[in-house]
Amino acid sequence: MNWWTKALRSLIASDTREKLDLFRVFPGFRRFLATRHHYAILRSAGDVLFLVVLISGFLGPNDARRNVAVFLTWGLLWPAIVLSWFLVGRMWCGICPFPGLGLFLQRQGLTLSLKVPRLLQKYGVYTSVFLLALIIWSEVVADLDHSPLGTSCLVLAIILGSALLAVLFNGQAWCRHLCPLGRISGAAATLAITEFRANHERCRNCKSFACQRGGEGKRGCPVYLGAYSVVNNLHCLVCGHCLTNCDRDSPQFLLRNPYSELITNKGRYITCSYIVPFLIGSQLARFLRYKPIYISFDRAMGSDAAAFSLVLAASFALALGGIRLGNSLLVKRPDPVIGRLSPMVPILIPMAFVGELVYRMWFFTRGIGDFLPTLGRQLHLAWLERLAFSLPEFPVLILSAFFMLNGALAATYILWRFCMEDFEGEVSLGNFLILNLLIAVFLLIYLGVIF
């Protein structure tokens, strides 16, 4: 069988054993990930980009039309990260510049190397979701996506937070437990078409656990996992450390059906249960902010912060209510092993993260035509003004509708798989139709606020 035929089967097959190991097909890709100086180059490039953003934001003009820091962050970097979720999961986290300062301090011996406390392990998820909500709220209310100084302050705050935890604890405790961007990336990575997993047959009788602990001067897993214990895409950074430590050639990079993990987890991941309803609600609120009805409401309130907060709370309540309604129609009893499930969360995950892609795509398409002119105004290169262009809005709207329709179709597919497998015989035809109608309502609401 040709590798591309097996790749297609991996993407569409419901059998989880039908997965193509991309390391076997493209050994050069494996060598690239295993060669640490390649990662160092990529991370250095990210460090340079962040340095440009910080210097430009703090020392340049505080005007988005004369400072590229805003578009580099919100129009280029953030949409690229969102797009990467669907393809390579959390691989961005493996080269993310945020932990760079903390890693540098650790290499200099400036760390207490304390054990991560159980309190942080247990409640870090709540803190990171709160920080994510704060970032999205601040992005809108403080107009960070139009403020070079505000953007740089946000980037610096995350860098310092990561550095503080690196000084206190061993490894990348910030990335594992507190990083809001890592948390949303982990939830989105459950939808990725790839997964990083160990071949447990090769792990059998391994005594060193070098993929987790490291060895011979090599770092272990920065988020305390190791390939052998990775069972989902939530936490693995796909950073390649275990490739150099494992002497059994166990790690695999598998092509898979993007909905397989969502169907398997059935809504058991607490990270997704908090992030998905908030993300849907925040997207509806952010899209609504450009509508005349919101502008009238804002004027009546007399405060953009108060108006957006109320709309955000109402949108979050709508998303949470829809999820709870869907759960009540699907789940009649708790799982005897896992407990209470929230299967409506994985059903809506495709729409939630496609919605985020659409929102970030809007910012990119509206700003890309003015990027070079902005650079010209900042560097006093007047000739760059002549390179300005604008993308027509209608094709972007059609593409947005196409993406959202695909997200809704994915949701109906996951629902169908649930009803045919995990909840077979437990969902009546009436409930099945209502659940499909609920998905359609979410789609219509999205299309309404987008158009």
Distance CA 346, CA 259 (A): 9
Claim to verify: residue 27 and residue 92 sit in the same structural domain: yes
Diameter of the chain measured on Cα atoms = 69
Cβ neighbours of residue 119 closer than 8 Å, sequence gap 6 or more: none
What pLDDT, in 10s, does the model give residues 136-153?
999 999 889 899 999 999
Q: How many CB atoms lie within 10 A of CB 193?
A: 18
> Measuring CA to CA, which residue among 248, 327, 344, 254 is closest to residue 6?
254
Q: How many CB atoms lie within 10 A of CB 83?
A: 15
Within a domain: 234: yes
Within a domain: 34: yes
Claim to verify: residue 251 and residue 287 sit in the same structural domain: no
Query: What percent of the chain is modeled with pLDDT above 90?
Result: 54
Q: What is the mean pLDDT of residues 159-169?
A: 93
The DSSP-derived string for 114-155 is BPPPHHHHHHHHHHHHHHHHHHHHHHHHTTGGG-HHHHHHHH
Q: Helix (H, G, I), strand (E, B), or coil: what is residue 193?
A: coil
What pLDDT, in 10s, does the model give residues 10-28?
888 776 667 899 999 999 8
Residue 38's Cβ-side half-sphere holds a number of Cα atoms within 13 Å equal to 13
Within a domain: 2: no
pLDDT: is 327 or 214 the higher one?
327
Claim to verify: residue 211 and residue 127 sit in the same structural domain: yes
Claim to verify: residue 107 and residue 206 sit in the same structural domain: yes
Contact 167, 110 (CB under 8 A): yes
Q: Which residue among 202, 225, 258 closes a domain?
A: 258
Q: Helix (H, G, I), strand (E, B), or coil: what is residue 21?
A: strand
Give the single-character DSSP code of 333: S
Claim to verify: residue 333 and residue 240 sit in the same structural domain: no
- Tokens representing 118 are 């159980």
**Domain that residue 431 falls in:** 269-450
Distance CA 394, CA 284 (A): 20
What pLDDT, in 10s, does the model give residues 37-46?
877 788 888 8
Within a domain: 304: yes
Claim to verify: residue 382 and residue 433 sit in the same structural domain: yes
Q: Which residue among 258, 280, 303 closes a domain?
A: 258
Q: Which residue among 202, 224, 258 closes a domain?
A: 258
Claim to verify: residue 212 and residue 353 sit in the same structural domain: no
pLDDT at 274 (0 to 100)? 86
pLDDT: is 340 or 269 the higher one?
269
pLDDT at 246 (0 to 100)? 87
Q: What is the mean pLDDT of residues 301-325?
A: 93
How many domains, in total, are found in the chain? Answer: 2
Decide if pLDDT at 221 tops 90: no
pLDDT at 359 (0 to 100)? 94
Contact 62, 147 (CB under 8 A): yes
Within a domain: 133: yes
**pLDDT grade, residue 213 (50/70/90)?**
confident
Reported residue count of the chain is 451
- Tokens representing 280 are 């849907």
The DSSP-derived string for 207-241 is -S-HHHH-BTTB---TTS--GGG--SSSS----SH
Long-range CB contacts (within 8 A, 24+) of 208-214: 210/242, 210/245, 210/246, 210/247, 211/241, 211/242, 211/245, 211/246, 211/250, 211/251, 212/242, 214/241, 214/245
Within a domain: 264: no
Give the single-character DSSP code of 37: H
Claim to verify: residue 370 and residue 304 sit in the same structural domain: yes
Q: How many CB atoms lie within 10 A of CB 236?
A: 26
pTM: 0.91
Average pLDDT value over all residues in the chain: 89
Produce one character per residue of 237-274: b if its CB has 16 or more CB atoms within 10 Å, e if not: bbbbbbbbbbebebbbbbbbbbbbbbbebbbbbebbbb
**pLDDT grade, residue 368 (50/70/90)?**
very high
Distances 183 to 98, 101, 203 between C-alpha atoms, Å: 14, 20, 28
Distance CA 275, CA 281 (A): 10
Claim to verify: residue 253 and residue 299 sit in the same structural domain: no
Claim to verify: residue 197 and residue 335 sit in the same structural domain: no
Produce one character per residue of 354-378: b if its CB has 16 or more CB atoms within 10 Å, e if not: bbbbbbbbbbbbebbebbbbbbbbb
**pLDDT grade, residue 309 (50/70/90)?**
very high
pLDDT: is 408 or 208 the higher one?
408
Claim to verify: residue 228 and residue 369 sit in the same structural domain: no
Within a domain: 224: yes
Which class for 158: exposed (0-12), middle (13-18), buried (19 or more C-beta within 10 A)? buried
Q: Which of 120-129, 292-301, 326-335 has the lowest mean pLDDT?
A: 326-335
pLDDT at 338 (0 to 100)? 53
Within a domain: 371: yes
Contact 128, 183 (CB under 8 A): yes
Claim to verify: residue 97 and residue 65 sit in the same structural domain: yes
pLDDT: is 207 or 15 the higher one?
207
The DSSP-derived string for 348-361 is HHHHHHHHHHHHHH
Distance CA 235, CA 356 (A): 20
